[in-house]
Structure 1
Amino acid sequence: MLITNQHVRFTLARLDAAVQEVQAMAGQSHRLLVAGARPGGWAAASKHLATAVLAEVADEALQLSGGDGYRRGHPADRAVRDATGLALAGGTTETHALTD
């Protein structure tokens, strides 16, 4: 089984930590908004990090799935398409970098 491989377990742990970081940033944005602040910077940073983390998670899912991950309908294939869509939604990462 794939999960018994130490490299796979470490990869999944690293990705889980990155996802938790994105969740914490989004939570901080929400707390600031509720407190009446304008968390535009936090929101932009959260989106940028979330896009990068999703792309990394999708790529790792594809790698771990092997050739089967490229099959239409496979969860890894869907994750790659979703990652690309998120990167484009609300302006590309490159566009956001230009406005800094």
Structure 2
Amino acid sequence: MRTMKKPLIATALLSTILLAACVPEDSAPPPVDMDPNACGASEYQELVGKNRSTLSALTFDSPVRILEPGGIMTADYSNGRLNISVNERGTITRVYCG
């Protein structure tokens, strides 16, 4: 049974090397410009600590995403999107781009 392990290990190692060779060098995504104020988040920092109901009276120049506890959100990063995090009590806890 010991002799059977060596060919399996060798086959697994060779397969890994061959698969790694198939990945093109330029397959990595381009770097994202992560300007922390690209969406104008600095203009809305005074919202932190206020109730979510405050948002209904505002208009925004960029796309807005409101993030609630336990809510579903996409993992994509959008430099120009304003994210507003709200806690379980409806209080705005964070305003940022992404």
Fold match (TM-score > 0.5): no
Considering Cα pairs closer than 8 Å and 6+ residues apart, tell me whether 1 or 2 has the greater RCO: 2
| Greater share of strand | 2
TM-score (norm 1): 0.24
More helix by share: 1
TM-score (norm 2): 0.25
Which of structures 1 and 2 has the bigger CA Rg? 2
